[in-house]
Structure 1
Amino acid sequence: MKFQILLFAASALSTQLELVDSFSTSIGIGVGIDKVSFNAGIRSSSSSSLHMVGSAPSDSDFAKPRATSDNQTVNANVYNIKLDQAAQLWTASVQESNNADRLAGVPFLDSKSKDYFVDDVPSLRVSRSGGMGIELLELAGGRDDGLGITIVEAVTPGGNAEKAGIIPGDSIAAVTVMESSSDGSGLKLVEETNSRVKGCECKDFDNTIDALANFPGDDAEEVYLDIKRIRRWPKVKVQVEYPPSQCAEGFNPVKQLEFFAGENLKRALQNRGIVLDDPGNPKCDFCGSNACYVSVYKGQKLLNPIGKTEKKLMEKNPNVRLSCKSTVGYNMQEGDIKVRVNLSQWSN
């Protein structure tokens, strides 16, 4: 299906690069808002002016909650957010050095707030028959290099995009087209399937349109879209209790904390000012600390399953975990955990 593309010139606004920290920089992008409707080949547009300055990514020590598939896995869609909120949170960042996920200097979609994270929703199969049923909203653009931020503003109820699982607030990161070819005949017939991919993460309105409308070609009946989606970061409420013997008069031994799902328990406790000091305990075989042991008397299911070595060590103390080997909010769970620290200092 062919789409008629009308180009709108956004206002030429200055671009500001500022150093955020030693790992990433943030891009401030001048904004002109354009809307485009992919619905049976009909396009509607509007334009206005807005200015947005990007910000640093989450200050946590990991990119997003880690999840594996088991009976404790929470459906990530329960943490989806509304369009208006997503539009306020999207920003673009770059990092100074290469890592396993991305190259230095290449813009990537990011969240302005550490309370939200950018998740990957890969390879959603979308039919092009009758139109994809997507309305796009450009949040940032107007640059000569084609960089920007374009998101899904709406999907047609019952349309192809909605059926594929795309929701308002999503941003399209890549478009893939699968193409089949055959060689030979009879028993020697060989069929091959090849793919063509066009990235459009952190691209402006026009480049996103090109990836969706022109790149697949007239013969492509469907495309596979890699989606970036902002989700609320699940949190766990953690009650920490010190032994009375370590508390001065008037000091409250109970502390109420909040951790992000996916945080290491020991590191999270220390980062929030909990003093782990327990010289009476043996040193942990993993981290070498005397104060690694914690008693979990509520919410054990919110921690990652205990490993074989740790289980053997704690055979006589089933409620005790090694905090250096424990992850809170396992598989994106939320809830309440209660722990006691510095265990040898508690009176029997």
Structure 2
Amino acid sequence: GAAEDSDLLPGDSITKVSVLRMTRVTTVGNKNVLEEKEDLYTVQTECLSYDATVDAIGSLPPPVTDQFQDFVQLNLKRLRRRPKVTIKLRYPPDQNEPDTTIEMFAGENLRQGMLVRGVKLNDPLAQRFDTKSEGNCGAGGLCRTCSISVLRGDDLLNPQRVAEQQMLENTPKWRLACKAIVGYGMKEGDMTIQVNPRQW
């Protein structure tokens, strides 16, 4: 139908329908030029049922072609699927944890997402960057207990900031999970990471 040549996609929601009426004025050369666009009638259709939406659109005035040219304008809302990243987790052999796979949404913090999904993340061999002692900094980016090694899919994480680069300069494949955002730039794909990489 007519929707094939439009920008409508399955799942789009029509929120408002307006009839825009253009006055027709004769100018030089006997050509008709359209001027003075104005809303003639508008109906709100957001959150209406299918039948109520059809009734609302049907209540718009019929087109008048003798003196005016009418256009119908649709306002839409489009729901966008949030990209997902599939992450294969590999644990150190001594940890006696089977490899597992989790899914995270683009934009999630890697550390928070892993902890929420029950991943055992704290590395007892890690030392704080600031005090060189043990202890979890609580996602402050100082203790390195949430370090992970990215084996595949590092392009799905946000770029490292200077402080993280300095802390992990001797281990270029490592990231601090507390400073890593998954699916950076709304990308999706697959990753493989090693949890607690100091124990490998």
TM-score, normalised relative to structure 2: 0.65
Per-residue CA shift, 1:258-298, capped at 9, x if unaligned? 33333321122112211112242324773666422211121
* Alpha carbons 2:14, 2:74 under 8 Å: kept: no
Q: What is the Cα deviation at residue 174 of structure 1?
A: 3.1
* Alpha carbons 2:16, 2:45 under 8 Å: kept: yes
Per-residue CA shift, 1:84-113, capped at 9, x if unaligned? xxxxxxxxxxxxxxxxxxxxxxxxxxxxxx
Could you tell me which of 294, 300, 310 is aligned with 2:164?
310
Unpaired runs of 5+ residues, structure 1, are 1-155, 182-190
Matched residue, 1:223 = 73
Report the CA distance shift for 1:241/1:203 in structure 2 as closer, same or farther (over 3 A).
same
Q: What is the Cα deviation at residue 192 of structure 1?
A: 8.9
Larger radius of gyration: 2
Report the CA distance shift for 1:174/1:331 in structure 2 as closer, same or farther (over 3 A).
farther
Report the CA distance shift for 1:343/1:170 in structure 2 as closer, same or farther (over 3 A).
same
Report the CA distance shift for 1:314/1:288 in structure 2 as closer, same or farther (over 3 A).
closer
- Distance (whole Å) between structure 2 residues aligned to residue 176 and residue 306 of structure 1: 48
Amino acid at match of 2:127: N
- Distance (whole Å) between structure 2 residues aligned to residue 237 and residue 264 of structure 1: 14
Matched residue, 1:164 = 6
Matched residue, 2:150 = 296
* Alpha carbons 2:109, 2:177 under 8 Å: kept: yes
Q: What is the Cα deviation at residue 304 of structure 1?
A: 2.6
Matched residue, 1:281 = 127
Per-residue CA shift, 1:54-73, capped at 9, x if unaligned? xxxxxxxxxxxxxxxxxxxx
- Distance (whole Å) between structure 1 residues aligned to residue 187 and residue 22 of structure 2: 42
The structure whose residues are more often helix, as a share, is 2
Equivalence map 1:81-230=2 (5 Å): 156=1, 159=2, 161-175=3-17, 198-215=43-60, 218=63, 220-229=70-79
* Alpha carbons 1:170, 1:230 under 8 Å: kept: no
Amino acid at match of 2:77: I
* Alpha carbons 1:175, 1:225 under 8 Å: kept: yes
TM-score, normalised relative to structure 1: 0.41
Residue 270 in structure 1 maps to residue 115 in structure 2: yes
Task: Please give the secondary structure, in 2, of the residue aligned with 1:281.
Answer: coil
Report the CA distance shift for 1:269/1:213 in structure 2 as closer, same or farther (over 3 A).
same
Report the CA distance shift for 1:169/1:216 in structure 2 as closer, same or farther (over 3 A).
farther
Larger relative contact order (Cα-Cα within 8 Å, sequence gap ≥ 6): 2
Unpaired runs of 5+ residues, structure 2, are 24-34, 64-68, 129-136
Report the CA distance shift for 1:308/1:163 in structure 2 as closer, same or farther (over 3 A).
farther
